[in-house]
Structure 1
Amino acid sequence: MITVTILGAGNVATHLYKAFSAAKTVKVVQWYNRDIRKLAMFQNDVETTDDLSQLKPADIYIIAVSDDAISELSEQLPFEDRFVAHTSGSVSVYDLDKKNRRGVFYPLQTFSKDVPLAIETVPICIETIGKKDTPLLKALGKSIGCKTHKVNSDQRRALHLAAVFVNNFSNQLYRVAHEITEAEGVEFDILKPLILETANKVQLISPYLAQTGPAKRNDKKTIKKHLKLLENEQHQAIYKLMTSAIKKTQGVDMRPVKNSKK
């Protein structure tokens, strides 16, 4: 049985708590958050606390707080030579206070508290200082049905950066598309099969081969029509930037497209 203490009450912490609670080989002994009110709905299921001095012994302490708070919280932990891991994709393992053994348990996924998630589909990127704690992180990932990937700090940072492109930036593009359809009174839902097919396609072929559309075809007439339709200058800028990027990647004529809207 792996004993775990969770520190933090955000999206990642909440999903990890639910996954660990459902695992047969994991026991959450405590859940800490500085604002204990955020843990109120779980207080009948797990021991909660807002007092770091009351933390009990555990095999691993998982810090799942904002990136800026990780280092300070690790410094405040009132013990030494225990195993502490954070869940960030971009924070160095060395940002954890060296008084304890240090690691990273980074679930590479987007998390929202109220959105159900099949945790077993989430890849877990692990990193430790020293080899002796690696098996524990692997076992912890396996206990919730996840595949673990041993990565170094540079690889983890690269994955996190890439994740911003495929998740955060693509979601912003969805928002732009929603604004465009909403302006004409057409349902955004009509685009959802296309969104799913695009995501499914890159499971089978590379993003380079999956690329379609007017930029790849160098369809200048369609591109000019699109730019004329876009009344929002920010949307125009995004369209031009993405069109230019696709053309460059695909080796298309890079002469700039003039905005025909006056």
Structure 2
Amino acid sequence: MIRVNLVGTGNLGWNLAQALQDANGVELVQVVDRSERLKDLQGLNRIETLETMNPADICLLAVRDSDIAGLVPQLRQFDMMIAHCSGATPLSELDGLKRAGVWYPLQTFSKDLRAPLKNITVALESNDDDDLELLSGLALALHANPIRVDSAQRRVLHLSAVLVNNFVNHLFTLGKTELDQVGLSFDLLLPLIQETVRKASLNGPEDSQTGPAVRNDHETIQKHLDLLSDPKTRELYIQLTQSILQRHGKEL
């Protein structure tokens, strides 16, 4: 049984609290919930301060990146493994703790919509092999896939995640905005989105590119530019088109 304390009640904390509660071989000992954001979740042992945490095997810090270093003075008293969940924050932010690590779940999290953890990647880091095994065991208990990476590798992993998730979702929003203007539903694009992801997973994204840019279809590109009334969206279309053309050795 892996005993876990959880600090943080945002999107990640809300999802992790429920996943840890449901997992076999895991006991969610306490959740530090100063804001009472998790008060509607049943069965949680919520506390308000770090100083009153009970002993556990792991304490996960599911907090803002900017808050991680500031928690270290309050956590120095504990012997448990303390791991932050940030993709962009180095392990060194936890310097001064007796046992420190990183447990970074590579997934998009929103509150009130549980994200699946099964088969996701969890990036691990620690300077102690036994603690790495402990962090790995927690990931496996959630049916996730643990990998060991250093802080430099994890920063690139996080950057890539922002490119393929956050930026792509923004493009979804822009596409929906254009459809809204002519009374069409975003749902019309869902099969296309799903097939795009399927092809990228099978063939690799670099070999799956389609569309007017990779065809060097200047006429269609110009028609699209003429349709775009928002100057920022138009400029983004041009920049992405140029990026695709350059990647494939062509010019706009």
TM-score range, shorter chain: over 0.9
Confirm whether residue 110 of structure 1 aligns to residue 87 of structure 2: no
Per-residue CA deviation, residues 105-154 of structure 1 (Å, 9 max, x unaligned), is: 00001011222322112111111022221110111111111110111111
Distance in 2 (CA, whole Å) between partners of 1:47 and 1:115 is 22
Pairs within 5 Å for 1:1-262: 1-35=1-35, 37-42=36-41, 44-77=42-75, 79-252=77-250, 254=251, 256=252
| CA-atom RMSD in angstroms | 1.2
Relative to the length of structure 1, the TM-score reads 0.93
Letter in 1 for 2:13: A
Distance in 2 (CA, whole Å) between partners of 1:176 and 1:116 is 25
Secondary structure of the corresponding residue to residue 30 of structure 2:
strand
* Alignment match, 1:260: none
1:77 offset after TM fit, Å?
A: 2.2
1:237 offset after TM fit, Å?
A: 0.3
Secondary structure of the corresponding residue to residue 38 of structure 2:
helix
Per-residue CA deviation, residues 35-68 of structure 1 (Å, 9 max, x unaligned), is: 2x212113x5021111222111111110001111
Q: Which runs of 5+ in 1 are unaligned?
A: 257-262
Q: Is the 8 A contact 1:53 1:78 kept in 2?
A: no
Q: Is the 8 A contact 2:5 2:58 kept in 1?
A: yes
Letter in 1 for 2:164: V
1:81 offset after TM fit, Å?
A: 3.4
Percent identical pairs in the alignment equals: 38
Q: Which runs of 5+ in 2 are unaligned?
A: none
Letter in 2 for 1:106: Y
1:78 offset after TM fit, Å?
A: 5.7
Q: Is the 8 A contact 2:94 2:100 kept in 1?
A: yes
1:80 offset after TM fit, Å?
A: 3.7
Distance in 1 (CA, whole Å) between partners of 2:177 and 2:8 is 35
Relative to the length of structure 2, the TM-score reads 0.96
Distance in 2 (CA, whole Å) between partners of 1:241 and 1:134 is 42
Equivalenced residue count is 252
Distance in 1 (CA, whole Å) between partners of 2:104 and 2:119 is 14
Distance in 2 (CA, whole Å) between partners of 1:24 and 1:188 is 38
1:34 offset after TM fit, Å?
A: 2.5
1:98 offset after TM fit, Å?
A: 1.6
Q: Is the 8 A contact 1:119 1:146 kept in 2?
A: yes
1:79 offset after TM fit, Å?
A: 1.3
Per-residue CA deviation, residues 207-248 of structure 1 (Å, 9 max, x unaligned), is: 111000000010011111111111110111011000000000
